[in-house]
Amino acid sequence: MQIIPSRIVVLLLALLLVAVGPAQALLTTIGTAEYAGGTYNLIYDNANPFGGIVWLDYTRNADFWGNQVAWASSLGTPGTVNYHLNPGVNINWGGSSWRLPTAVDGMSVFGYDGTTTAGYNITTSELGHLFYTELGNKGLYATDGTVPQLGSGLTSTDPFTNLKKKVYWLGLEYATYTDYAWFFDTRDTRSGFLDTEYKGSKYYALAVFPLVPEPPVGLSLVPEPSTFLLLGGGLSWLVRLRLRRRSG
């Protein structure tokens, strides 16, 4: 029996990771929504810490926290949003309700290494995870405390077209002081910053639609069969090449 060299195995694993990688952290435009006289993308995110969600690629102008919470909820009112999903994609819009992105509550303790409840490089909020992980942006502080970090800011937004350099309210009240709520900052001066603020402040808002535990019907989250056929063909070719060299 011929033994496949380790370098070939490594190559095959690399090919496999390339093939399945997008299924692990995926932002997929699944359709559009008509709202307030405009048309905006619906972006499915399967990698967020709170489970699968759909982002409405629309930034609402600055308002008080309570008004932003009410606005997101109002998107579920029949006739407010008209959905146009891509062929083969189906979502039960009545199975949940629109809301602001959420976070993990706790005593606000500043830090920059990603392990604290407030500060930079924290990916436990839905907007923070989108900013750092899915979109690959960098916070103003590096995890070692370097500030400003080279390349920091909201430099990557694709497939979003209406994600702005603003302060966004999150939908989570600060339990320690209930007059406050959590926010996430994407401006250059505090890019990637998570903390709490008085609810009477006026910040911007994004809305998400939770799909836990079900993904959109008809949306493939695993590699297509052709991908595995390609990998199988590559493996066969590498094995034949190895045998030919040994017999030559």
Is 34 in the same domain as 123?
A: yes
**Buried/exposed 42-60: b ≥16 CB within 10 Å, e otherwise:** bbbbbbbebebbbbbbbbb
DSSP readout, 80-128? Answer: S-EEEEPTT-B--GGGS--B----------EESSS-SSEESS--SSHHH
The domain in which residue 13 lies consists of 1-26+227-248
Angle (CA) 101-202-55 rounded to 5° is: 25
Is 40 in the same domain as 121?
A: yes
Is 90 in the same domain as 179?
A: yes
Is 156 in the same domain as 238?
A: no
Is 41 in the same domain as 161?
A: yes
Task: Name which of 104, 59, 84, 97 is nearest 212 in CA terms.
Answer: 97
Alpha carbons 62 and 81: distance in angstroms, whole number? 20
The domain tally of the chain equals 2
Answer whether 113's CB lies under 8 Å from 143's CB.
yes
Alpha carbons 248 and 242: distance in angstroms, whole number? 10
Is 237 in the same domain as 214?
A: no
Helix, strand, coil percentages, rounded to 5, for the chain: 25, 25, 45
Q: Cα dihedral sign for 89, 92, 97, 101?
A: negative
Output the 3-class SS for 71-92. HHHHCCCCCCCEEEECCCCECC
Q: pLDDT tens digits for 98-141?
A: 999 999 999 999 999 999 999 999 999 999 999 999 999 999 99
Is 14 in the same domain as 38?
A: no
Segments of the chain with pLDDT less than 70? 1-25, 212-215, 217-248
Q: pTM of the predicted model, to two decimals?
A: 0.79
Position 246 scores a pLDDT of 55
Is 91 in the same domain as 49?
A: yes
Is 4 in the same domain as 96?
A: no
β-pair type (193-198, 180-185):
antiparallel
Is 1 in the same domain as 96?
A: no
Is 18 in the same domain as 33?
A: no
Question: How far is residue 91 from each of residues 25, 42, 45, 98, measured CA to CA in Å?
Answer: 20, 11, 14, 13
In the chain, count H helices and then E strands: 4, 10
Task: Name which of 172, 170, 211, 166 is nearest 189 in CA terms.
Answer: 166
Q: Which positions ≥6 away from 29 have C-beta within 8 Å?
A: 41, 42, 43, 44, 86, 159
Task: Name which of 201, 172, 216, 166 is nearest 44 in CA terms.
Answer: 216
State which H helix or E strand residue 181 sits in: strand 180-185
State which H helix or E strand residue 16 sits in: helix 6-24
Is 241 in the same domain as 186?
A: no
